[in-house]
């Protein structure tokens, strides 16, 4: 039964869907992020106190984009987008795998690795040429006198991007589907509560039960790349 045809669908994805493509996950079991403390590489104060370390850390992550590919879960979401009337994909991930998998209406609430942001004008620009991926600092093209750029990433202590657009989409959806998210990082983890309060059906697709699993109407456990394609087919066919 094609339950989602003609519906408004909002997706929220987290690190789990990217991990299946080989992208390093947010933090390891010991609390470290690729052997670094979060406070040392993912906060405004870290950028102020040791920009060289932060810059090299993110340049490594940006180069990693060239080594990973979308997995079946990304392609399944692109198929779902084509099959419903109103589709919004909100991602906590900073990679470009959703776009490369075929999704077009993607909101990156924590920023993007492909873009860099001018420290003065706050404008961002896509910088993924070979010369943009080295360890030396880069400078903007938007100012008369070029200024240093920073990673276009939401660090701890900074406000997530596009929140007004995100809450509007969740508030009007018929189905809210979370894929590969730990349920620990707010405000993303609280969006299921918004969806529930607005009468949407809430569905979880995750490798294991997250911290907020109790909030969902329907739960499917397993690797997204293995179970999501069949779920999408059941929702559309």
Burial class (CB within 10 angstroms; exposed 0-12, middle 13-18, buried 19+) of 78: buried
Name the strand (E) or helix (H) holding 17: helix 15-19
Check residue 78 and give its pLDDT: 98
**CA 107 and chain centroid, separation:** 8
Mean pLDDT, range 103-124, rounded to an integer: 97
Q: Can you give the residue ranges of every domain in the chain? A: 1-23+70-110+160-237, 28-67+115-153
Q: What is the mean pLDDT of the chain?
A: 93
Which one-letter DSSP state was computed for residue 189?
Answer: G
* CATH (one of 1.10.10.10, 2.60.40.10, 3.20.20.450, 3.30.1600.10) for 28-67+115-153: 3.30.1600.10
pLDDT of 132 above 80: yes
Burial class (CB within 10 angstroms; exposed 0-12, middle 13-18, buried 19+) of 219: middle
Mean pLDDT, range 197-223, rounded to an integer: 95
CATH superfamily of 1-23+70-110+160-237: TPP-binding domain (3.40.50.1220)
pLDDT of 225 above 80: yes
The answer to whether residue 136 is catalytic is no
What digits encode the pLDDT tens for the residues 158-174? 999 999 999 999 999 99
Percent of the chain at pLDDT exceeding 70: 95
Of the candidates 108, 110, 136, 184, the residue annotated as catalytic is 110
């Amino acid at each position: 039964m094609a339950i989602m045809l003609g519906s408004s669908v909002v997706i929220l994805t987290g690190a789990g869907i990217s991990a299946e493509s080989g992208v390093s996950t947010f933090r390891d079991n010991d609390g470290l992020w690729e052997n670094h403390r979060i406070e040392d590489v993912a906060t405004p104060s870290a950028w102020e106190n040791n920009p060289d370390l932060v810059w090299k850390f993110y340049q490594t992550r940006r180069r990693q984009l060239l080594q990973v590919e979308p997995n079946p879960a990304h392609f399944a979401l692109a198929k779902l987008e084509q099959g419903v009337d109103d589709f919004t994909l909100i991602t906590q991930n900073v990679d470009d795998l959703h776009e490369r998998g075929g999704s077009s209406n993607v909101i990156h609430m924590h920023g993007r690795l492909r873009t860099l942001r001018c420290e003065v004008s706050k404008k961002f620009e896509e910088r993924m040429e070979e010369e943009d991926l080295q360890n030396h600092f880069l400078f903007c093209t938007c100012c008369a006198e070029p200024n240093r750029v920073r990673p276009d990433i939401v660090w701890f202590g900074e406000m997530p991007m596009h929140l007004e657009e995100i809450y509007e989409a969740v508030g009007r959806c018929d189905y809210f589907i979370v894929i590969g998210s730990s349920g620990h990082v707010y405000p993303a983890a609280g969006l299921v509560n918004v969806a529930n309060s607005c009468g949407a059906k809430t569905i979880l697709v995750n490798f294991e039960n997250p911290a907020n699993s109790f909030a969902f109407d329907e739960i499917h456990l397993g690797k997204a790349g293995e179970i999501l394609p069949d779920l999408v087919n059941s929702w559309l066919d």
